[in-house]
Amino acid sequence: MNPDHISLHNKQFEPYLSAAQLTAAIREVAARINQDYAGQQVLFVVVLNGSFMFAADLLKEISLDCEICFIRVASYQGTSSTGEVKEVLGLTEEIQGRHAIILEDIVDTGHTMQMLLDTLGARQPASLEVATLFLKPECLQHELPLRYVGLSIPNDFIVGYGLDFDGLGRNYPDVYKAV
């Protein structure tokens, strides 16, 4: 499945990043995590829904002893952030004294990530880091400790590889941008 354009909710998208480019970026992030946490156990906190593909592919490359859990937050409606972050499904695992890495599909304004860092940081982990597949630096409104960034991208609206447009488009192995 690699169409030269897709249409979602009557909006057109063109190819932007291939599955091969995504795989290379993910392997690079995983190699850094494996090196930085060698000999340690890590809890990966996956932000649903968009991060499911990134998390699955990243964890296939992780050689550490690790656990995985899921949290769901929402801040998007249509093609833009609402600016309001709502926690939908909270973290039930104990993270106090543990090394935790938040896995996120995309950081743009940083509102969601700031809320997660504040919320999880209050639970006193031994360390708390962020691994994001995509970062939109020109959109960032918070100073965030983003230790692991797969790809920095411009402020384009993208879908595919877990990212959606009102629920559609997550299933594409490549990433497409709106035209």
In a domain, 62, yes or no: yes
In a domain, 93, yes or no: yes
In a domain, 3, yes or no: no
Number of domains in the chain: 1
Active-site residues, by number, are: 108
This prediction's pTM: 0.91
The pLDDT profile of the chain, 179 residues, written as one tens digit per residue, is 567 889 999 999 999 999 999 999 999 999 999 999 999 999 999 999 899 999 999 999 999 999 999 998 865 555 555 556 665 477 889 999 999 999 999 999 998 899 899 989 999 999 999 999 999 999 999 999 999 999 999 999 999 999 999 999 999 999 999 99
Cα angle vertex 88, ends 83, 94, to 5°? Answer: 115
- The CATH number given to whatever domain includes residue 45 is 3.40.50.2020
